[in-house]
Amino acid sequence: MNCVHASRSGDIAILTLDNPPVNGFGLQQRRQVVEAMDAAAADPGVVGIVVTGASGLFSGGADIREFGKPEAIASPHLLDLIAIAEACAKPVVAAINGTCVGGGLEFALGCHARVAARQALVGLPEVKLGLIPGAGGTQRLPRAVGLERALRMIVSGDPVQASTLADTALFDAVVDDDVVDAAARVARALAGGGRPLPRLREAVVEGAQAEALLASARAAAAGAFAHEPARLRAVEAVAASLGDFAQGMQRESETFFLLMATPQSQALRHAFLAQRAAGHVADLPRGTPTRAIARVGVVGAGTMGGGISMNFLNAGIPVVLVEAQQQALERGVATIARNYEQSARKGRLDPAQVQQRMALLEPTLDFGRLGDCDLVVEAVFEDMEVKRAVFERLDATARPGAILASNTSTLDVDAIAACTSRPQDVLGMHFFSPANVMKLLEVVRGEATAPDVLATVMQLSRRIGKTAVVARVCDGFIGNRMIEHYGRMATSLVEEGASPQQVDRALQDWGMAMGPFRMGDLAGNDIGWAIRKRRYVQRPEMVYSRLADRLCEQGRFGQKTGKGWYRYEGGDRQPIPDPEVDRLVEAYRREIGVTPRRIDDVEIVERCIYALVNEGARLLEEGIAQRASDIDVVYLSGYGFPAWRGGPMAYADQVGLYMVARRMRQFAAQPAGDAAFWEPAPLLARLAGQGGSFHRA
């Protein structure tokens, strides 16, 4: 495959990187760049070389398809490529026409000059993979933009627009017109300047206030990212740029390879690859056609319906929002407007953008207005009969070929589809609350869902900025089916002797964004209560503590009622331990004859996390989830699982499935142990016995 296209513009050689999807510097492209630069350097008709990218971007850095393979470090590696460009006797100019991050920016820093389009994004995001830049980024960027800006960019990993760095030595020009033409002009000027070609390695980092800047950066990294060593290591690597360049490069290289071996980096790299893998449906043929989505309908203007509507409005897609009652409709529209106004006050939107998005919204009481929509998402109360009634109306109203989606979080999508004459057009689109904020979208594939319907919704999810994971039909799909067992275990721990605060604190200290009891209060404890009531009838063999039921019987539904597992004052979301809950717990223990015991934090974490893992193994074996990494993506994107642990299935692999299964059997043998609950799922037991892992199953 030709990954580099060489052309001429008079006396300038133009090298265009073309390695979809992100022009990653894979081995083949690295070799072709070296060959093309050598050819241009040897051509007497060429006075300068311009390197740019195809498809509206410069380079996304490393080729992720080579991660973990010998090609990733094979010669010529990126350091070779940069050294060749830097040593070239003819000026090499990077024409940054679009996104330029990671190794792409490191290559550009090694060129003699850089010209960027004003809106191009540049950055070094390696810390988000638990690494630091490994090809000179920590040494050359401070020499280009100064210590303070370099620290901010490298330690955060966030890209910035080229226009914000136009006043630095990073760019020789930031332009609105043709970036390649502008780069060619810079190359000619350098070639005819009669001076040595500029090299960032020879620049000096301004040392004024360096110690204060570094101290502040160290404190911020240690405080906000205590579990991610790459952030603090990045500060130290950047600090080395104040001295000798060669010594700084050695420090960067040593740090890079040290971090590469850490479990945090392995987990973060797994999460990165897992998110990209989630978009690929194994049995969906490449090139499956998709349906055009130009107009979307949403049924229900409540919290979920309003949030769902905002996703489409944000992407410039008109939305018909239908409600049954005028008051509910007005309340829903007012909430959407208020959310946009808050974003404008925070500077995330300007007033014109708010008006544009609200203008795309058509609120109505007329169900018939859904007739010309290409996709209709139902977001009504989580009750099968209510949803079936909506879909019967949609079947009679929606145009032929329209996709009908349910936002159900637990119900049978096949049963919903069966009440229509077009089950092939029906699937689940389970948004997570708040729907306009949370990235996760579970796409629930029904038995009859047509391939083009699935392909369309997966494509649409990217358009609206969601991370989509495909699930087959079961009660709770992937996320909620697993979280139910996590919650069961958390409540059992309190029944046996822990406090809700201890359980929450142990899991939050381990890395979860929120403990299970705080999460229950936020979501509404009545939701779990309704699910349990169904379980008592449908699955009488499942063992549940009735402690959470006692809580709900007292109307303690969480933040919305001002009291749940905690109490809340004046609309504040801060949880306050409540002695009433302590008394309720003590009374329940007496009622069931339990003498509380001391439970340490390690047991709390293991029981809750391994409960997730065991149910995840069942989902894999049943084919509900396509792959273990999809389960990880669900928990990383939707449930606050720490990215630096990689997701529940990746974490279990890291611990070792043999050790996970062994610990589960120990829990089963405890006096209060639930032997059926802790029986390792067949897939987990088999892999543990074989010395295998979920991600190699």
Residues 644/650, Cβ–Cβ less than 8 Å: no
Number of domains comprising the chain:
4
CA–CA distance, 297 with 312 (Å, rounded to integer): 10
Residue 172: name the closest of 110, 112, 227 by CA: 112
Q: With residue 322 as reference, give the H or E element that holds it.
A: strand 319-322
Residue 697 has a pLDDT of 62
The CA-based angle 107-108-109, given to 5 degrees, is: 90
Residue 60 has a pLDDT of 93
CA–CA distance, 462 with 34 (Å, rounded to integer): 35
The identity of residue 335, as a single letter, is: T
Residue 29: name the closest of 91, 77, 68 by CA: 77
Assess whether 492 and 363 both reside in one domain.
no
325 burial type by CB count under 10 A (0-12 exposed, 13-18 middle, 19+ buried): exposed
Catalytic residue numbers read 106, 126
Residue 427 has a pLDDT of 98
| pTM for the predicted model, two decimal places | 0.91
- Which stretches of the chain score pLDDT less than 70? 697
Residues 354/344, Cβ–Cβ less than 8 Å: yes
Residue 63 has a pLDDT of 80
CA–CA distance, 153 with 113 (Å, rounded to integer): 20
pLDDT in tens, 464-498: 999 999 999 999 999 999 999 999 999 999 999 99
Domain boundary among 445, 477, 509: 477
- Token reading at 496: 């046996």
Residue 673 has a pLDDT of 77
Assess whether 66 and 27 both reside in one domain.
yes
The two counts, helices (H) then strands (E), for the chain are 27, 17
CATH label of the domain that carries residue 492: 1.10.1040.50
Domain boundary among 598, 615, 637: 598
Q: What's the DSSP call for residue 465? A: T
Q: Look at residue 623 and tell me if it is in a domain.
A: yes
CATH label of the domain that carries residue 467: 3.40.50.720
- Token reading at 131: 């690494």
Domain boundary among 260, 283, 306: 260
Domain of 152 in residue numbering reads as 4-260
Helix segments in 623-697, DSSP class H: 628-638, 648-655, 657-668, 682-690
Q: Directed axis angle between helix 27-42 and helix 78-87, to 10°?
A: 10
Parallel, antiparallel, or unpaired for β 319-322 and 100-101? Answer: unpaired
Assess whether 535 and 588 both reside in one domain.
yes
CA–CA distance, 379 with 395 (Å, rounded to integer): 16
CA–CA distance, 118 with 424 (Å, rounded to integer): 46
Quote the radius of gyration of the chain (alpha carbons, Å): 28
Assess whether 23 and 160 both reside in one domain.
yes
